[in-house]
Structure 1
Amino acid sequence: MSDNNLTSEQVTAVQAVVDRVNSYQESAPEGTVEANLREGLAEAGVQLSDDQVSALTHEIEANGSADAGQVLR
């Protein structure tokens, strides 16, 4: 996955969304993390591919957090 198409501002916006989702993901039912991630990205005006959203979702669910810049590389 490459973030070459994302500006640094977009990566920063994605990280803000990821941080928000991270803050309540531990008690979230399955599917909630991805849904909230997609909702936050839409609010931020950033479009990611399904693969990118899946990678972020997996990282959040597996590790409780995600570094958007690293995951989207």
Structure 2
Amino acid sequence: MSDYTDEQIETIQAVVDRVSSWQDGATEGTVAEELTKGFDEAGIGVPAHDQARLADAIQDAHGEVKAAEVLGP
């Protein structure tokens, strides 16, 4: 299982949903930057390697990104 609590995953998912909904076609750098800003605004610490995994998933996805699956074991 991931190192995140259910509440943290919910918060991370909310940020991922927000970023992925309006970042379609954006560069990975922009997606990563917006994830960082979103996590900072939400007051949740997400390590850079997990942020990179989420940014990659958003860039590669042709649908909804599930944070729990990306950050899971």
TM-score (norm 2): 0.86
Moved over 3 A (4+): none
TM-aligned CA distance change 1:30 to 1:54, over 3 Å: closer
- List alignment gaps of at least 5 residues for structure 1: none
TM-score (norm 1): 0.86
Deviations 1:13-61 (A, max 9, x none): 0000000001111142441100000000111111111110000000000
Give the paired residue count.
71
- List alignment gaps of at least 5 residues for structure 2: none
Task: Name the Cα RMSD after superposition.
Answer: 1.4
Counterpart amino acid of residue 69 in structure 1: A
